[in-house]
Amino acid sequence: MFFDPLYFIVILPAAVLAMWASARTRSAFTKYARVGSRIGLSGAQVARRLLDQYGLREVSIERIGGQLSDHYDPRGRVLRLSHEVHDGTSLSALGVATHELGHALQHAEGYKPLVARQAFAPVAGIASQAWGLLFLGGLLLAAMPLGKVLMVLAVVALSLYVLFALITLPVEYDASNRALALLESSRTLQADEMVGASKVLRAAGLTYVASAAQALSMLVYALIRARD
Domain that holds residue 202: 5-227
Span 80-92, average pLDDT: 97
Q: What is the pLDDT of residues 113-132, one digit of tens each?
A: 999 999 999 999 999 999 99
By annotation, the residues acting in catalysis are 100
What's the rounded Cα separation, in Å, for the pair 226 and 59?
Answer: 46
Note the pLDDT of residue 183.
97
Q: What is the pLDDT of residues 141-198, one digit of tens each?
A: 988 889 899 999 999 999 999 999 999 999 999 999 999 999 999 999 999 999 999 9
Query: Model's pTM, two decimal places?
Result: 0.90
Note the pLDDT of residue 31.
97
Note the pLDDT of residue 1.
46
Note the pLDDT of residue 143.
83
48-52, long-range: CB < 8 A, 24+ apart: 49/186, 50/98, 50/101, 50/182, 50/186, 50/188, 51/79, 51/101, 51/104
Amino acid at 152: V
Total domains, the chain: 1
CA of 123: how far to CAs of 68, 127, 152, 183, in Å?
25, 6, 17, 35
Q: What is the pLDDT of residues 39-76, one digit of tens each?
A: 999 999 999 999 999 999 999 999 999 988 999 999 99
How many other C-beta atoms can be found within 10 angstroms of the C-beta atom of residue 210? 21
Note the pLDDT of residue 3.
67
- Which backbone phi and psi does 81 adopt, to 5 degrees? -115, 135
Kindly indicate the confidence band of residue 29, based on its pLDDT and cuts at 50, 70 and 90: very high
